[in-house]
Amino acid sequence: MTDVTLALVLPLLGAFLLPLLAHGVLRRLAVLFGPGLLALSALLLFGAWSTYESPYAIALGGFAPPLGITFYIDRLALLFALAVPLVTLLLWPGGSDEASVRRQSLTLLLAASLTGLAMSGDLFNLYVFYELAAVASYGLAAGSGSGAAFVAAFRYLLLSALGSVIALFGIALIYFKTGTLNLAQLATLSEQLANPQGLAAFAMLVIGFGVKAELFPVNGWVPEVYGAASRRVAALLAGLASKLVVLAIVRILLLVFPGEEARQLLLVLGILGVVSGELAAWQARDIARMLAWSSIGQLGVVFVAFSLPGTIGLVAGVTVALHHLVVKSALFLIAERWGGAIDGLRGAAASSWLGAALFVLFALSLLGLPPLPGFWSKFLVLSGLAEGGTTLQLLALAAILIGTVIEGAYLLRVITRLYAAPDSQAPPPPQRRSSLLASGLLASVLIGAALFINPLWLGLKDLAASGVDTSGYVETVLGSAGGQR
Amino acid sequence: MSASIGLVFFVGAIGLSLIGIAGMLLSNHLFRMVLALAIAEAGANLLLILAGYRWDAVAPILVDGQPAQAMVDPVPQAMVLTAIVIGVGVQALALSLVIRVRQRYGTLDMRVARQCMQDELDEAAGVTPGRSQERPAGGRPLPTPIAEAGGRHD
């Protein structure tokens, strides 16, 4: 059962070994090192997924909880953890020169820490993995080496470090009130946090961790970093990293803050994210920053979805999050060589029909055109909001619908440019073959999901039912983890 | 007695953080922003230490042959140790980025650096700068970049 922790340890070890290995003769072999490790950890996680029966906890180092750190493994954690190596493989920055090796090492570090975020059952351990992921993404953001990338990475670092300080305050506040940071033990003590101090602690954690999840007030770094960094890094941060941080926030919400106010806080921040993100994306005139702002809007929808109570909220949230993971990674990949203004994209379809067709497919799914999965994810959120029916939820419903209209406006603007006749300017170059292959794979995932929507829905409902089972979590961690190694 | 000392420490922890956060938000000097970050982190760490501190207790070290007595909670101390290490690493990274920014743009002023970044991004994106609400005609009243010898290395 400790196999699962290896999925985290291997990339972490690899991140530090890779720069040492990649010298001289070994340099050519080192190209395969990172992908090999990621494939191995994906295999391990897939094995754990296929032999999975019920949730279990792993006491790291044999120290029993609540003092020791636990990893909690259920379908939800496995699903997101499995997404990490798979998506990282698709977005792998190849190459064997020194800069590429450094980038690969940071990518491995990011993958390891994101896997940790999916599994960890300890608040401070979550903080450590969050910081690790943040440091790796500063490096990736600055990696393109232009002056703009350095300024963007520095501003990102400052905001994220400020968020960490605020999150640390929240952690200290929780420790004051309860004397523990183990999520399972906190779940048994959640009444002690059902007061203004507890809510303040939750708000601090959400704002602190929300920096990487592109949450509304702390997302100023997003367009700068995604504009300056390479598109693959942007895809990794927008598609993958933000989702794993959202998962960590959702775990904290479900276990420690079951109260209504905490959900309302997420709902309000989500609405503001949808409105501000979509409006800014509509105004953007180059494709990188348009996609960046649009991902802020989409993550607003994710937060709105997770603010819905009970199983339906978790199903809706997981669906929206996974859909956005696939679609936004693919859109950034397709746009990898489409530098420049949206107006400069004229005739892109003529130079690469496949790239343009894939872009249209993903854009339509993002909009929510049935029968693509994007429709079902938005449908789940909207029906959940309509069922809840409070004023705020109806406001969120309206915001998401209006956001979809704006989304339609700017995505169709890009699509019409793609298929327009090329003017005097040269059309953008066709996509790299590896990008086309990766986004084609993501497209087949999308179409597969559309074809098998019913079994998928049943599986997700199962997954969410075990995900919201707080007492099961507590029993698993505190009851049995001491015996399992 | 100990209660009032505790209060001083609490006020100190929150005050340090507020000073740091205010410094990060109000300052425009890249290096001062990193310093402000260090101060804010010190405040947060002090608060975390206070979360497990007891004034009537001894250090949490078990010594053979001595009876166990009330001890300070060691868990927050271990966590603060981790937080300090993370903080130092992040500050070092921040300083290295400051050096890079200084090399590329020859400035340590956040407003100038940000403007340079926006211009570079707009140029790379092929978007003509000057959405009117962001860039009023006549330019912004920005301080001129520090023009020292050796400022630019590129």
Query: Any idea what the Cα angle at residue B137 is, between residues B132 and B138, rounded to 5°?
Result: 150
- Nearest-Cα distance to chain A for B24, in Å, is 8
Report how far apart, in Å, the C-alpha atoms of A205 and of each of A128, A209, B125 are.
Answer: 13, 6, 35
CA A350 – CA A321 distance, rounded (Å): 33
CA A464 – CA A193 distance, rounded (Å): 24
- Nearest-Cα distance to chain A for B135, in Å, is 15
ipTM of the complex: 0.85
First to last CA, chain B: 60
- Nearest-Cα distance to chain A for B151, in Å, is 14
Residue B65 dihedral angles phi and psi, to the nearest 5°: 85, -5
Interchain contact, A151 vs B75, CB within 8 Å = no
Does A371 sit behind a cis peptide bond, omega within 30 degrees of 0 on the bond before it?
yes
Name which of A151, A162, A176 is nearest B113 (Cβ-Cβ): A151
Interchain contact, B44 vs A340, CB within 8 Å = no
Task: Kindly report the average pLDDT of chain B as a whole number.
Answer: 80
Using DSSP, state whether A379 is helix, strand or coil. Answer: helix
In order along chain A (485 residues), what is the average pLDDT of each group of 10 residues? Answer: 80 88 76 87 89 84 80 88 90 82 90 92 91 92 87 92 92 88 86 86 92 86 86 88 92 87 90 91 85 90 89 89 90 81 78 85 88 87 88 90 91 86 74 84 88 86 84 81 42
Structure tokens at A304: 């709105």
**Residue A2 confidence (pLDDT):** 58
Structure tokens at A170: 């929240």
DSSP A171-237: HHHHHHHHS--BHHHHHHTGGGGSSHHHHHHHHHHHHHHHTTTT-GGG-THHHHHHHHS-HHHHHII
Name which of B40, B51, B73 is nearest A165 (Cβ-Cβ): B40
- Span A271-322, pLDDT tens digits: 999 999 999 888 888 888 888 889 999 999 999 999 988 888 888 999 999 9
**Residue A420 confidence (pLDDT):** 82
Task: Answer for the pair A184, A74: CB distance below 8 angstroms, yes or no.
Answer: no
Name which of B43, B93, B117 is nearest A148 (Cβ-Cβ): B117
Report how far apart, in Å, the C-alpha atoms of A469 and of each of A80, A181, A257, A425, A474 are.
Answer: 18, 19, 14, 58, 9
Task: Answer for the pair A236, A84: CB distance below 8 angstroms, yes or no.
Answer: no
Name which of A148, A158, A341 is nearest B120 (Cβ-Cβ): A148
- Nearest-Cα distance to chain B for A175, in Å, is 6
Does A422 sit behind a cis peptide bond, omega within 30 degrees of 0 on the bond before it?
no
Q: Is B30 on the interface with A (CB under 8 A)?
A: yes
Report how many Cβ contacts below 8 Å link chain A to chain B. 132
Q: Is B130 on the interface with A (CB under 8 A)?
A: no
**Which helix (H) or strand (E) covers residue A482, if one does?**
none
Q: Which fold has domain B2-56+73-125?
A: Helix Hairpins (1.10.287)
CA A210 – CA A219 distance, rounded (Å): 8
Q: Which residues contact B136 (CB under 8 A, 6 or more apart)?
A: none
**Residue A268 confidence (pLDDT):** 92
Query: Any idea what the Cα angle at residue B65 is, between residues B59 and B67, rounded to 5°?
Result: 55
Name which of A154, A179, A339 is nearest B124 (Cβ-Cβ): A339
**Residue B46 confidence (pLDDT):** 92
Using DSSP, state whether B96 is helix, strand or coil. Answer: helix
Name which of B17, B104, B131 is nearest A150 (Cβ-Cβ): B104
Which chain A residues are within 8 Å of B90, Cβ to Cβ? 131, 134-135, 157, 161, 164
CA A40 – CA A58 distance, rounded (Å): 20
The CA-based dihedral angle spanning residues A137, A143, A146, A152, taken in that order and rounded to the nearest 10 degrees: 0
Q: Is B45 on the interface with A (CB under 8 A)?
A: yes
**Residue A196 confidence (pLDDT):** 87
CA A268 – CA A270 distance, rounded (Å): 5
Please say whether the dihedral angle defined by the alpha carbons of residues A242, A244, A248 and A250, taken in this order, is positive or negative.
Answer: positive
Partner residues linked to A56 by β-bridges: A73
Task: Answer for the pair A204, A173: CB distance below 8 angstroms, yes or no.
Answer: yes
Q: Is B37 on the interface with A (CB under 8 A)?
A: yes
Name which of B21, B90, B101 is nearest A151 (Cβ-Cβ): B101
DSSP A435-475: HHHHHHHHHHHHHHHHHTHHHHHHHHHHHHHHHT-HHHHHI
**Residue B132 confidence (pLDDT):** 43
Interchain contact, B116 vs A341, CB within 8 Å = no
Using DSSP, state whether A408 is helix, strand or coil. Answer: helix
Which chain B residues are within 8 Å of A143, Cβ to Cβ? none
**Residue B136 confidence (pLDDT):** 47
Structure tokens at A205: 């954690």
Q: Which of B77, B90, B98 to mutate to test the interface with A (most CBs of A within 10 A)?
A: B90
Q: Which residue of B has its CA nearest to A180?
A: B75
Q: Which of A158, A180, A197, A285 to mutate to test the interface with B (most CBs of B within 10 A)?
A: A158
CA A15 – CA A450 distance, rounded (Å): 36
Q: Which of B121, B131, B152 to mutate to test the interface with A (most CBs of A within 10 A)?
A: B121
- Nearest-Cα distance to chain A for B70, in Å, is 16
Which chain A residues are within 8 Å of B75, Cβ to Cβ? 67, 181
Name which of B83, B97, B121 is nearest A157 (Cβ-Cβ): B97
- Nearest-Cα distance to chain B for A480, in Å, is 23
Q: Is B36 on the interface with A (CB under 8 A)?
A: no
- Span B131-152, pLDDT tens digits: 444 544 444 555 555 554 444 4
Below-50 pLDDT ranges, chain B: 131-133, 135-139, 148-154
Segments making up each domain of chain B, as ranges: 2-56+73-125
Q: Is B114 on the interface with A (CB under 8 A)?
A: yes
Interchain contact, A150 vs B75, CB within 8 Å = no
Q: Which of B21, B86, B112 to mutate to test the interface with A (most CBs of A within 10 A)?
A: B86
Partner residues linked to A73 by β-bridges: A56
